[in-house]
Structure 1
Amino acid sequence: MLLNLNIIDLAVVKSLDLDLEKGMSVLTGETGAGKSILLTALGLALGDRADSGYVRPEAKRAEINLEFDLADAPEAQRWLKENDLDDDHHCLIRRIVNQDGRSKAYINNRPITLQTLQTLSEKLVEIHGQHAHLTLLNSDEQRRLLDAYAKDQPLLDQVNACYRQWQQANKELETLIKAGKDKTEREELLRYQIEELQQLDLQNFNYAALSEEHSKLANLGQILAVGQSQVDILYENDEQSVSQMLGHSLNEITHIARFAPELNEICSLLSEAQIQAEEAAQQLRRFLESQEADPQRMDILENQIAVIQNLSRKHHVKPDELPELAENLEQELDGLTHSSERIEALKISTAKLLEQYDQLAAQLSQQRKQASKNLARQISAMIKELGMPQGEFLVNVTALDLEAPKLNGRDKIEFLVSANPGLPAKPLAKVASGGELSRISLAIQVTTSSDKTTPTMIFDEVDTGIGGGIAEIVGQKLRSLSQNRQVMCVTHLPQVASQAHTHLYVEKNNKADITSSNVRVLNDEERVQEIARMLGGVNITANTLAHAKEMLFQSAASH
């Protein structure tokens, strides 16, 4: 369960440190007081996308911290341990949003990615928004809810794994069959291209070495001229060579070193330099003597390089990538040569995968049909309690007329409702009354949540469009959910608020032209005042206060 929510500099909240309890907690306050920002903070801490607009004016960053006790969250404990993020039975989540919109996330003080945070969050908190009834109109969401209720996720995973294997094999099969139509023409082209590349002696191919040898022969005249001039300068110039100048300097400094022994090291260096200069001159002379112009070799190199560059341009690759290209073409040719064998193997494989998929999809469909009856019966009972005494809820599971496999099985799942006897059931999207749709949505959410293992559930104004005695029943249903999990509910209804174990109040402060919001836990007397405000509006009378006390007393007595 969620033990603590800490917010710093997030929108209208400057600083908030809120301890949370087990059971059902409600969050109330005047319109515009800032109730939504708490849901925003929770959403950000649990992995929602962030932007700079969340940072409080004049603050450098916003920060949200959540502390969880994982005693009632075994799946989260297991996941943290598998990902080396565990810390006994506690979990700390931290999210920081900077002024530039960039954010960082941490689990137990270790930096993690947003995707990792979202994966963990699904095992800790489930949020039902005030527009959940609109999401329910989506057919995929209806399928997801039925599958969650049926607890068929392991079988669904097998179906989808089999589908992906079939899809991959079938795609390769279709590609090979299509390629087979112009196979002969492609084989001829590949053989021609491979033969063309093989003239390059690919086993000994070294474009860099060829380029280097060509450059050397092309510049041989300059090499010989410059080399010979440097031999003269280093050693062979009788009048003033480097060797002669070093020898002269050595003689002069050796003479004065008799009076300054510390110059002996310099003499050694000059002697070594003279030897090195003479050796360099001799090596350079030997190199020059070994060089010989070879016009025939030059022609061969120019022809080879021209062929290489032409093939490089033709195939749109760099010259040194030609051997790799030849290897790829040979592999493709080999694949075409043996494609008929591969096609037969793929036909057998896709047929087996299709048979396996059909069996798994049939099992999944059976589980869904069995679960749909129980789900429909439970939701029908609940919408009757929620002010639709003649209402009937149906979950249709029908087979799609498809030959090929499909992700998530071959079923079409549709939620239907009949508000009055004698009238045919219609899809949820065609339910006329917004109030009816809200009640049906709430019934679905409460029913499908009953068997879930998520330890904390948050309902954000899901009771919109409901009032009177129905609102009291909604409050009772939400409270019943809190028997084995933590439930938080943002509400405007006193009938719902009076059912809570803990009442949180959001209030707005305006100081120095800066608006801020704060949350505090109401004591018994304050709670009476807040329920009365929700009942009576601006002018709270003695009768309103008495009614508020009675609602709280009846709620406590019934539990």
Structure 2
Amino acid sequence: MLRTLDIRDMLIIDRLDLAFQPGLNVLTGETGAGKSILLDSLGFVLGWRGRAELVRQGAAQGEVVAVFDLPAGHAAHAVLAAAGLPDSDELILRRINTVDGRKTAWVNDRRCSGEVLRALSETLVELHGQHDDRGLLDPRGHRAMLDSFGSLEAARDATRAAWAALGVARKAVAATQAALDAIRSEEEFLRHAVAELDTLDPQPGEDAALDADRRRMQGAARIRDDVARAYDLLGSNGAEGSMGEALRWLDGVIERADGTLEAPLAALNRAMIELGEAHAGVQASLDALEFDPNELEATEERLFAIRAMARKHDTAPDELADLAQSLRGRLAALDAGDADLARQQAELQAAQAVYDGAAQSLSAQRAQAGQALDRAVMAELAPLKMERAEFHTVLTPADPGPEGTDTATFTVATNPGAPAGPLNKIASGGELSRFLLALKVCLTGTDSGLTMIFDEIDRGVGGATADAVGRRLADLARGGQVLVVTHSPQVAARGTHHWRVQKQVVDGATLSEVVALPGDERTDEIARMLAGDTITAEARAAARALLGG
């Protein structure tokens, strides 16, 4: 609810402090007194786009402050939270416009953008007037209004959930199909590569082991002949045989050598022992150097095959085993992909069926709600002297989406037999105002927490019709807050709070002011609206009768 509106130096307003109340708040006054300036100022602080030049002549800047009461659960709390702004049960909007056109806004003393103000305004205020192209006149919002009127939130939420699940299923099928298509494009390569790798069966570390074996056998081939020659020279046909022969000759003559051969003979014995060890060592070396030439050839062939395979796949030899495993996994995914795709397509069909069912149910409920709304609006049109007019909620097919498969448009025909058309195209003037009012009366339960503003919605009507307009505005204001700018005494008389907007000249400058009207002053204002500048006793009596009715 709008509690206060403070305006400083805006157009012809010098300083104005207004305290609004719950119920029907009425603003009256002569044409040109400044009633529209109040709405311009309120729209300015709410971030609406309006007049470019708002600052009062001679002032450096204009300022508007609006204070709203926010009950628990009000939609504005969510906007404040999303914007990271301070939140409480009181909302203070402040906006300044400098003479050079710069605009600055605050929400609860925190700087904010015009976008945040406009987002808040959608939860705070709803403006209705003959030239309003938002709200009830905007066909884009008619479906949401119909859903709210018919209490279809649960059915709509079910449709949204089904649409989200359908989207997930579609993405899963598309992703699986794309993956399969990508794998199938290289299936021939994969199967050939896996077959080659499986045949080769390379193992981690095998390249290094084969290379070491190859080097060993190549080295053995180069030195084994020399080692064999040395072995022969050390054996019985070489050094070992010669030393043995020398020992036998010396043993035969040692007793006759007077001890001169004992030391040489001992040395030869030791040498024979060392020679035996050397001979045995050379023998062991020869055994180690022994290899099968076929083994060398086989080792080289496998080593070259592994390295060729690594070059072919642009990887290291030790990574061939992992590559084979990866390629086998991709082939397994291909082999299992058809089954996965079939399962996901079945899930997609099931999700589509759930969505179709939810959307069809929502459409059926919308059709019922539309018929109920048509009856409700038609019942409201009769007291507004439009009993010959027709109102219809038209549902038309739309592309499937989270809100279902249809759109809703409010259409009217002003006279029987006349062509029906969208509300904002067919009705005009006072007819449009009454259509809007009748529709708003029927939809009012859907706009909890909104301050509704009606700008001369009674234009072009009078007498009993104006009285019916006033009564319905009063009904709308019960339990809420309605502001109405009016020239109709019948409407003004239904207000619970009444202000007069008037001009005065101060120091040669024309200024607008707003005066609360208690008691007799209110009677005189309504009498003025009835009789004009000269208020007669009859006009006052008629005003009292309206106020008493």
Same topology, TM > 0.5: yes
Aligned equivalents of 1:484 and 1:527: distance in 2? 23
Aligned equivalents of 1:85 and 1:59: distance in 2? 30
Residue 102 of structure 1 is matched in structure 2 by 102
- 1:461-500, aligned counterparts within 5 Å? 461-500=456-495
- 1:83-482, aligned counterparts within 5 Å? 85-86=85-86, 88-132=88-132, 136=136, 138-153=138-153, 155-156=155-156, 159=159, 354-400=352-398, 405-406=400-401, 408-417=403-412, 419=414, 428=423, 431=426, 434-482=429-477
Aligned equivalents of 1:7 and 1:453: distance in 2? 27
Report the CA distance shift for 1:156/1:132 in structure 2 as closer, same or farther (over 3 A): farther
**Deviation of residue 531 (structure 1)?**
1.0
Instruction: Indicate conservation of the 8 Å contact 1:438/1:462, yes or no.
Output: yes
SS of the residue 2:143 aligns to: helix
Instruction: Indicate conservation of the 8 Å contact 2:142/2:410, yes or no.
Output: yes
SS of the residue 2:404 aligns to: coil
Aligned equivalents of 1:495 and 1:464: distance in 2? 12
**Deviation of residue 21 (structure 1)?**
1.4
Instruction: Indicate conservation of the 8 Å contact 1:166/1:350, yes or no.
Output: yes
SS of the residue 1:376 aligns to: helix
Aligned equivalents of 1:164 and 1:40: distance in 2? 42
**Deviation of residue 366 (structure 1)?**
2.6
Deviates further, 382-391 or 65-74: 65-74
1:408-462 residue CA offsets vs partner (Å, 9 max, x unmatched): 4221423344555677866546746643333222211222123421242111112
Instruction: Indicate conservation of the 8 Å contact 2:41/2:64, yes or no.
Output: yes
SS of the residue 2:123 aligns to: coil
Aligned equivalents of 1:109 and 1:134: distance in 2? 29
Deviates further, 524-533 or 423-432: 423-432
Report the CA distance shift for 1:348/1:62 in structure 2 as closer, same or farther (over 3 A): farther
Instruction: Indicate conservation of the 8 Å contact 1:9/1:62, yes or no.
Output: yes
1:520-552 residue CA offsets vs partner (Å, 9 max, x unmatched): 101222212211221122333222222112211
Q: Which amino acid is 1:469 matched to?
A: A
Residue 513 of structure 2 is matched in structure 1 by 518
Report the CA distance shift for 1:69/1:52 in structure 2 as closer, same or farther (over 3 A): same
Instruction: Indicate conservation of the 8 Å contact 2:528/2:535, yes or no.
Output: yes
Report the CA distance shift for 1:367/1:46 in structure 2 as closer, same or farther (over 3 A): farther
1:310-352 residue CA offsets vs partner (Å, 9 max, x unmatched): xxxxxxxxxxxxxxxxxxxxxxxxxxxxx99999999778656
1:477-520 residue CA offsets vs partner (Å, 9 max, x unmatched): 11111110011101111110111011111112233453321111
1:200-220 residue CA offsets vs partner (Å, 9 max, x unmatched): xxxxxxxxxxxxxxxxxxxxx
Aligned equivalents of 2:167 and 2:57: distance in 1? 52
1:54-103 residue CA offsets vs partner (Å, 9 max, x unmatched): 22223222211111222476443565467664554222121222333332
Aligned equivalents of 1:132 and 1:48: distance in 2? 12
Instruction: Indicate conservation of the 8 Å contact 2:130/2:432, yes or no.
Output: no
Give the root-mean-square deviation of aligned CA atoms. 4.0
Aligned equivalents of 1:458 and 1:127: distance in 2? 5
Instruction: Indicate conservation of the 8 Å contact 1:95/1:103, yes or no.
Output: yes
Instruction: Indicate conservation of the 8 Å contact 2:456/2:484, yes or no.
Output: yes
**Deviation of residue 112 (structure 1)?**
2.4
**Deviation of residue 359 (structure 1)?**
3.1
SS of the residue 1:53 aligns to: coil
Aligned equivalents of 1:6 and 1:504: distance in 2? 15
Aligned equivalents of 2:122 and 2:65: distance in 1? 17
Aligned equivalents of 2:50 and 2:385: distance in 1? 40
Residue 329 of structure 2 is matched in structure 1 by none
**Deviation of residue 144 (structure 1)?**
3.4
Instruction: Indicate conservation of the 8 Å contact 1:133/1:437, yes or no.
Output: no
Report the CA distance shift for 1:341/1:424 in structure 2 as closer, same or farther (over 3 A): same
SS of the residue 2:512 aligns to: strand
Instruction: Indicate conservation of the 8 Å contact 2:79/2:119, yes or no.
Output: no
**Deviation of residue 393 (structure 1)?**
2.7
Report the CA distance shift for 1:347/1:514 in structure 2 as closer, same or farther (over 3 A): farther
Residue 257 of structure 2 is matched in structure 1 by none
Aligned equivalents of 1:140 and 1:23: distance in 2? 29
Residue 58 of structure 1 is matched in structure 2 by 58
TM-score of the superposition, structure 1-length normalised?
A: 0.62
Aligned equivalents of 1:543 and 1:524: distance in 2? 18
Aligned equivalents of 1:11 and 1:66: distance in 2? 17
Deviates further, 96-105 or 82-91: 82-91
Aligned equivalents of 2:426 and 2:45: distance in 1? 36
**Deviation of residue 164 (structure 1)?**
7.6
Instruction: Indicate conservation of the 8 Å contact 2:523/2:540, yes or no.
Output: yes
**Deviation of residue 35 (structure 1)?**
0.7
1:252-275 residue CA offsets vs partner (Å, 9 max, x unmatched): xxxxxxxxxxxxxxxxxxxxxxxx
Residue 541 of structure 1 is matched in structure 2 by 536
SS of the residue 1:123 aligns to: helix
SS of the residue 2:546 aligns to: helix
Q: Percent identity?
A: 39
1:292-317 residue CA offsets vs partner (Å, 9 max, x unmatched): xxxxxxxxxxxxxxxxxxxxxxxxxx
Report the CA distance shift for 1:174/1:57 in structure 2 as closer, same or farther (over 3 A): farther
Q: Which amino acid is 2:438 matched to?
A: A
Aligned equivalents of 1:168 and 1:57: distance in 2? 60
Q: Which amino acid is 1:113 matched to?
A: S
